[in-house]
A = this chain, B = another copy of it.
């Protein structure tokens, strides 16, 4: 591994998001990526692109959280994607944004100019393959989310969201402790409501209920402690022998 590879990994900017796979990039590919990349920062609440805008870049989330949402005529909105660090934003081959993208917390993106990125993708098949794999993962997440939206009660929705975030945090931190997890909620109550198809009042009430019942503990309003992950898992209502644990 040379210096470039190291820097590449550090900044979390690789379109091939799993660090272990980065090793497959050759030095000149990495130089090429470096040549077309630049960083952008956004403050919490700031819009990044609006649905219908032309997008001349694709990007990778370095720090912070962004959301994709869809709006209806009358202002109702539904979050349809949540981007955490290492997630990918934008799609090669499509130059118009199909959703509103908003910085949920303070956010740093590592952007790549789209055209050269696409050309590079055509030349290096393993990037294209990795992109397909990532898209399939997103599709799986979207479908899990559809079950949450369509069939779960408010309490199950909150439990599911907590479980999803806890799992994501755990996989980043490499702490595979079965229970006794804790994390900082990266979302306001309103954003959670938007994610889950609820109102912010219902979110607040159900979080209080889960706290009262000892499923979670709160430290302040944002720090969550999960004393027993299996208990939380039961509260989600999911069929948890059914194989994959995305």
Residues of A within 8 A of B (CB): 51-52, 68, 70-74, 76-78, 80-81, 91, 93-94, 96, 98-99, 122, 125, 128-129, 131-133, 135-136, 138-140, 142-147, 149-152, 196-197, 237-240, 242-244
Contact = CB atoms under 8 A, between A and B. Distances in A.
A50 to B, nearest CB: 10
Contact of A132 (B135, B142, B151): B135
30 contacts: A51-B242, A52-B243, A68-B143, A70-B143, A70-B146, A70-B147, A71-B242, A72-B237, A73-B240, A74-B237, A77-B151, A78-B151, A80-B143, A80-B146, A91-B136, A93-B132, A93-B136, A96-B244, A98-B244, A125-B128, A131-B132, A132-B132, A135-B139, A139-B139, A139-B142, A142-B143, A146-B146, A149-B150, A149-B197, A151-B197
Nearest to A135: B135
Contacts of A131: 132
Given A80-B146, A197-B150, A72 B239 contact: yes
Contact of A72 (B81, B122, B238, B243): B238
A115 B147 CA distance: 31
Contact of A239 (B71, B133, B196, B238): B71
A158 B100 CA distance: 25
A140 B78 contact: no
A239 B78 CA distance: 13
Given A96-B244, A243-B51, A73 B150 contact: no
A98 B140 contact: yes
